[in-house]
A and B are shown apart, each in its own frame.
Chain A
Amino acid sequence: MKEILSGNEAIARGAFEAGCLVASAYPGTPSTEILENVARYKEIDSSWAPNEKVALEVAIGACFGNARALACMKHVGVNVAADPLFTASYTGVKGGLVLVVADDPEMHSSQDEQDSRHYARFAKVPMLEPADSQECLEYTRLAFDLSEQFDTPVMLRSCTRISHGKSIVELGERVQGLPAPRLVKDAPKLVMLPGNARVRHPIVEERTIKLSAYGTTAAINRMELRSDKLGVICAGVTYQYVREALPEASVLKLGMVWPLPQELIREFSSKVATLLVIEELDPFIEDQIKAMGIACSGKELTTHCGELSPGRIRDACARAGIIAASTVPSVTIEPVPPRPPNMCPGCPHRGLFYELNRANAYVTGDIGCYTLGFMPPLNAMDTCVCMGASISNGSGLVRCLPPEEQQRVVAVIGDSTFLHTGINSLMEMAYNKAPATVVILDNRITAMTGRQENPSSGYTLDGESAPEVNIPELCKALGIKHVRTVDPYDLEATRQAVREEMARPEPSVIITYRACVLIKGAGRYEKGPILEVDQGKCTGCKACLRIGCPAIEWKPDPEGSKGKAFIDPLLCNGCTVCQQLCKFNAIGGKK
């Protein structure tokens, strides 16, 4: 049967067909939908983990029990999961173990564009890289087989254009007859004490050599011979761009990007006069080919930064004189206002950032929708590094500051990010008595990635009810004496909490508790009264515009006098924050 599937849906289908039994992940764009789709197959035990390290360890545990297991994450998630990854490379597997990593070249929704291929080489595990949804399915199946055949975790690398691209896929059946899960005692392999690990390391080195030899004959690495003048080595989505931009060129398409099939590369290079390596981000393949003593061009043509595309490859090759320059005229347009992303109307984060700005706070930020607190007119974020860093950055910052500046430091972190890697940071802050203020923006969901449940939301991935982490009690248990909860829709209460806790020369936590406007259902977000501006009372003071709500528009008066504010009734969620800012009582419930 044929279906149009995204890369993420096809990876999930591949895991199902491969007989995967356990899957774990932490959401992260562009990887999130893999686990959401795996969860549709009831044969697989799928669950959200609080972070990527835990997700990979859950998968490793299941694989030790002879089950085929999957962990999925975005590129930066592998930084968090690196610790178990490197040791799992030494232990090898019992059941097949696959780690899917989705990179985000161009940083559509990420803080950096690190190239995950380095992790495969660094951890000494093979990495497959599919070029469309059909290959996502096939390579996921193959990854489980290779994992067991070569006794290694296998990484599968996707990217935004593969994960969120769709193409036609031929579906298969789930494999049957895999060994049943059971407890397996094999301490020399599974207990990585120095004595055992020293025995395992040479096995890992030998495995890489065997995998390179496998790659030379494996069907996933294939030569497409067309021209003897120009040959291109490429992998993943870049293969598609190359086929489009250089249709006459011979191509060595690599399905396995680590380890490289050295013999096959030598053979291909001998068949073409000019050899190019075209790859997104780092010269990962190019550097190795040059180290093999083979002449090729790569990053002198294409950039280290951002995505490639057929057009960018064509332009790069035209500049280098490899192909003729394109002469297609393009339309030029006049400059127009940009349209950056914004928090939703009624977003519970908006009032808090407004008050932090007014309190002249220096805000150490974190990863989530609330990173948009950086945007004007809120302008209330001063740093943002990685998941969980807000609290520890704030804790470090107060150590070097004079007391009057210490008071200005406020860390903001979402509920899901706090549970991901913020708990350790808060423990450090309490333990070392760093006098910063922490705000946990508890909107009851992992919002940025598309509303996934988490350990404090009360539900599992399958929508079943689950124990909720009690965040205020957790903060107290970590040693924070001053913990208070406010409703961020109540500006006065939020203002008071922010000012009092900032002034306190001790560690303290404020929890802003209000559901994300995008989560519907009993006990979750409830829409308030739709508001409107009484045009007779509006003086045009613009106070309501300071929160940057997309539902409020300033319309200049055509007569030339002051303009007035308008609320779009289709967008308003009735949070009332603008109403609280209006000194002229011009904003009220729509009649």
Chain B
Amino acid sequence: MENTITNILLVGVGGQGILLASEILSEAFMLAGYDVKKSEIHGMSQRGGSVVSHVRFGKEVFSPVVPEGEGDILFGFELLETYRYLSLLKPGASVVVNDYKIAPPSVLLGQAAYPQALPEKIKSNFPDFLLVDGQGLALKAGDVRAANTVMLGAVSKRLQIEEAVWQQALEKMVPEKALEINLKAFAFGREL
């Protein structure tokens, strides 16, 4: 296979479960036979701060960090954070984002406003834009906490990986008692 690298960036707020989502992606890429690297930051930045996780796969991956301007897919857990990291993407990249807002400190204190019309601003730069009602679909699947899995399902449509591989990755990474709901949530996301 040709060494084309696919670059995925997962962005959101510390504590949103970004690390687990990036683990499931990595697992699926390894199961599909690719080389995989991922990179993230732990520690102080996880205390409610802005978080970016990088996942890359292909025949042979060198850098664990996605080079600036080469992101293929932006997987957003929160709207403002998704907008913040658009410059990491290449032209024509896909953006899949949960329709979810978390106010940063200056907004909580009433010193700044949460930016308006972010979906429109993102879409004007990246036409392959999908806004997902992650929480709503997760609730429909049986548990609001499965919102990230809905998102994974939506992202999976943009990756050339067989459905069975995704199922295998979820079975490995999700606790058994939550598996059924997560498989359902994944399917809802994949249908979008």
Contact = CB atoms under 8 A, between A and B. Distances in A.
Contacts of B64: 132, 161, 165-167, 237, 240
B27 interface: yes
Interface in A408-462: 448-450
Contacts of A29: 42-44
B63 A241 contact: yes
User: Interface majority SS on B: helix, strand, loop or mixed?
Assistant: mixed
B48 interface: yes
Contacts of B83: 333, 336
B37 interface: yes
Contact of B67 (A2, A244, A563): A244
B49 A341 contact: yes
A153 B63 CA distance: 30
A450 B26 contact: no
Interface stretch (B103-111, B150-158, B183-191): B103-111
A336 B108 contact: no
A243 B43 contact: no
A556 interface: yes
User: Interface majority SS on A: helix, strand, loop or mixed?
Assistant: loop
Interface residues of B, number: 53
B168 interface: no
Given A108-B44, A339-B104, A342-B47, A309 B30 contact: no
A552 B110 CA distance: 11
Interface in A330-377: 330-334, 336-344, 369, 371-372, 375-377
Given A4-B27, A552-B108, A332 B87 contact: yes
A32 B42 CA distance: 10
B136 to A, nearest CB: 15
A263 to B, nearest CB: 27
Contact of B37 (A2, A30, A166, A326): A166
A340 B105 contact: yes
Contacts of A310: 62-63, 65, 67
B42 A450 contact: yes
A145 B167 CA distance: 42
Contacts of A375: 105
Given A329-B91, A448-B44, A542-B110, A161 B39 contact: yes
18 contacts: A2-B30, A4-B23, A4-B38, A109-B44, A109-B45, A161-B64, A167-B36, A167-B37, A168-B36, A241-B63, A244-B63, A314-B67, A337-B112, A339-B50, A448-B43, A545-B110, A553-B107, A563-B110
